[in-house]
Amino acid sequence: MTNILEAIFNIVEIQNFNVNAVYSGRNRMNGMGSALESYVIDAFADTFDIDDEPSRMKIHNENFSWLGNQNNPPDAMIKGGDAIEVKKIQSLNANIALNSSYPKSTIRSKSTLIAKGCRDCETWTERDIIYVIGNTSDTVIKSLWLVYGSIYAAEHETYELIKNIIKTGVNAIPNVDFADTKELGGVKKVDPLGITNLRIRGMWHIQNPTKVFNYLHSKSDKDFELVCILPVTKYNSFPIESRTKLEKLSKVGYRMSEVQVRDPNNPANLIDCKLITFCF
């Protein structure tokens, strides 16, 4: 089964970051965001060079239990493995828009924000999540950051507390007819005719990993860079074959090192991690 180490190996090997060229003619390019998601899925499934769509679909089916929609996280889930959430930005240091879904250290099946298809795709309760942030032009991937949620976001309860305080405060407003909603709040019949409703939604953003982890990596002067940060405990959980592939990789611009990152739940603690970079 695939994993993040296999994806990194495949990206370093292919050395093709022009997604317009890669996906033109496959009838799957509905804008750059969709093309970036397809590129990431191909990296994990090792299907960059497979043009026959039925063959691609079969390999994707063997590797993934969920390939999602644009409205609900995650974008993909590896069978028995990690969830993947892909975010596209066109400004290198732009904040990451998460819309109504707060940052996730892990993804939980009981979350009301995930699709039923994802909840039912396997028997599962909680999975690690990989945030894949791509800085793109209209045709080319300039950088790709892969960061585990466990070292990027705080525990779920941190965000739930804020969400619940706001929701409780909104519902405490007197003389308002509230609607039952999964959002922060909903008000019915705002006007005298009773024909106007108000939705109150959270719009979450998180700082770009280029800022969050700027003490580990600075932007290179190359056309493309890949940066991956993952806990050592996670790295060691992958099959020895996958680890050996990366440890023996000897491409120009490729490097793996040991680093420490601040614990999102307590910055006084440090977490041992692997920093993997590829600048091309």
* pLDDT (0 to 100) of residue 103: 96
* pLDDT (0 to 100) of residue 29: 42
Does 176 fall in a domain?
no
Domain count, the chain: 1
Beta bridge partners of 270: 262
Q: Which of 11, 17, 4 is nearest to 129 (CA)?
A: 4
Does 107 fall in a domain?
yes
For residues 16 and 205, what is the distance between their CA atoms, to the nearest angstrom? 30
Cβ(11)–Cβ(144) below 8 Å: yes
Does 186 fall in a domain?
no
Does 91 fall in a domain?
yes
Count of CB atoms within 10 A of residue 224's CB? 20
pLDDT tens digit at each of 280 positions of the chain: 899 999 999 999 998 888 765 665 554 444 555 889 999 999 999 999 998 999 999 999 999 999 987 778 999 999 999 999 999 998 888 999 998 889 999 999 999 889 999 999 999 999 999 999 999 987 899 999 999 999 999 999 999 998 888 888 877 878 778 777 777 888 888 888 888 988 888 889 999 999 999 999 998 889 999 999 999 999 999 999 999 999 999 999 999 999 999 999 999 999 999 999 999 9
Find all residues with CB under 8 Å of 276, minimum gap 6, and list them.
8, 226, 227, 228, 229, 230, 246, 255, 256
Domain range for 59: 4-155+203-279
Does 269 fall in a domain?
yes
For residues 83 and 247, what is the distance between their CA atoms, to the nearest angstrom? 24
Does 162 fall in a domain?
no
Q: Return the beta strands (E) in 149-234 as ranges.
A: 177-178, 185-188, 198-200, 204-206, 225-231
Does 188 fall in a domain?
no
Does 172 fall in a domain?
no
For residues 218 and 223, what is the distance between their CA atoms, to the nearest angstrom? 14
- What pTM value is reported for the model? 0.92
